[in-house]
Structure formats: structure tokens, C-alpha cells
Chains A and B, each alone.
Chain A
């Protein structure tokens, strides 16, 4: 099949017409233009690449983990007796104390 020549191609290309911008475009642009920064904060969207989002999530998780308050040391409640640190001696060495401090 013989291809078109330049002139024939130009004539054909001119037959494909595109529409002008629709009237709805104007309000879309100018409403957006008038939107103030705090409205943007309430309703705006931000596109973030996935690696950046993952890195940010990891940083936040680490920050939350490290900023937890340290667990308080275990202290026995007053008025109670704890035997948690009790260790029996291996060999009993009795000492007899008589009057005057002599063995």
C-alpha cells in the first residue's frame, strides 16, 4: 500500500479537531486560587512516595518507643514483708554472746 505524501498527510491531520477548554475549568482554577492556607490544611492532600512514608513511619515509631517513661524500680510496699531477696545461708555459724560482750 503506497504511503501518503506530505500534502495528503497535512490535509488529513487538519481534520482532527480538538475541543476548547470546557467552561467548568475556569471556576475550578479560580476557586482553588482563592483557597486560603488554612483551608488547604483542612482539605488539601499531599502525595508522598512510599519509601518516604515508610521511613517517616519508622522514625515516628522509634521516637515513640524511646520517649516512653522508664519503669519505676520495684519498691516493697510499706507495712508488707517481701521474701523476694531472701537467701538462706549455706552453713549456720551460731555465736553465743554472754553478759559483758564475750563469747
Chain B
């Protein structure tokens, strides 16, 4: 990869890589560290990217995902990385902005559900691209995405427009 190709790749994908890391770990400083590591990994091992297996963005988001998981494992050494047994609780909507409530709900999902939801819903990757990024089968990704959305539908139920709070929710703040 030439310098110019690297610069072009950086400009095209830096925001997606940073946003994904930021949404996954809720720390601007850590997200910036991870984004830096992702592009340095691309620079040092350009041969790892095989264009015949798909576009560059899912590849970079896959590296981002591995670095996020590594950080998560460092911080939660004894916690199991599972997404099957998760009990949803409706989010608290008192005096919070809607975006904060949604962020809290998404970040409350198990890690394996959270990553597929963010990649599919926010980064708009196809199911095949998500599967490549998270190193899983398409069927597994579909199932995790379904569970993630199902959990969010329950967690965010207090924001359902039919509720009396609806009028205030629609203005951006729930009380």
C-alpha cells in the first residue's frame, strides 16, 4: 500500500472506525487510541487485507472490533462473553435526553449483540459484511441482531409514543 493509498483509506474510513469504537466503549480517548491502532495495523501489515474477500471498511471495522474486545477482556477478565442470558430492564427516562437514553440502552446490551447492532444499524453494513467483521456466520449475526432489537424494543418501551410522556419525548427530553 502506497502512502497515497493509505492517506485515501484513512480519510475515507477514519470517521466510521472512530464512531464504531466510540459507540462500543463510551470513551472518546479510548476510541481515539483504538482508531490510531487500527490504521497503524493497516500500515504495518497491509498484506492482511485481501480485496477479493470484500471492501476495506468491514476489514477495518473487524480490526476495531478485535481491539475493543481485547480492551473489554482486559477490564472484565472473569466475565463471560455471552449474549444468551440477558434480562432487559426498561430504561429510566427521568430528565434525560432521548439520545442519552438510547445510548444507555444500546450500551446496556451484551457486547456480542451491541457490536452487530451498531455495525448493521449505524454503520449500515450488510449482514455479510457484519459477519466478516465479527468473524461469525451470517445466521449467527442475524440471530444476534434480532435479539438485540428485541431487547431494545423492551428496554426503550417507556419512550413509546402512546405514553403520556410522548409529547415531551418528541421534543428531545423525557421527564
A interface residue numbers (CB < 8 A to B): 1-6, 8-9, 12-13, 15-22, 24-26, 28-29, 32-33
Contacts and interface: CB of A to CB of B under 8 A. Distances in A.
Contacts of B43: 33
Given A1-B158, A3-B153, A25 B102 contact: no
A23 to B, nearest CB: 10
Given A9-B152, A13-B121, A18-B23, A29 B40 contact: yes
A14 to B, nearest CB: 9
Contact of A28 (B32, B99, B154): B32
Contact of B15 (A4, A20, A28, A29): A20
A29 B43 CA distance: 10
B32 A22 contact: yes
Interface of B: 6, 10, 14-15, 17-19, 22-23, 28, 32, 35-36, 39-40, 43, 90, 98-99, 102-103, 106, 121-122, 149-150, 152-154, 156-162
B102 A13 contact: yes
A16 B106 contact: yes
B157 A1 contact: yes
Given A2-B157, A21-B32, A22-B32, 6 more contacts: A13-B152, A16-B99, A16-B106, A20-B18, A25-B18, A26-B10
A16 B103 contact: yes
A32 B102 contact: no
A42 B103 CA distance: 42
Given A13-B102, A18-B122, A25 B35 contact: yes
B15 A3 contact: no
A33 B90 CA distance: 46
A19 B18 CA distance: 8
A2 B160 contact: yes
A12 B102 CA distance: 7
Contact of B32 (A1, A13, A18, A24): A24
15 contacts: A1-B158, A3-B153, A3-B160, A9-B152, A9-B153, A9-B156, A13-B102, A15-B102, A16-B99, A20-B15, A20-B18, A21-B17, A28-B36, A29-B36, A33-B43
Given A25-B14, A32-B36, A12 B159 contact: yes
Task: Count chain B CB atoms within 10 A of each CB in A6, A17, A25 and give the residue with the most.
Answer: A25
Contact of B99 (A4, A9, A17): A17
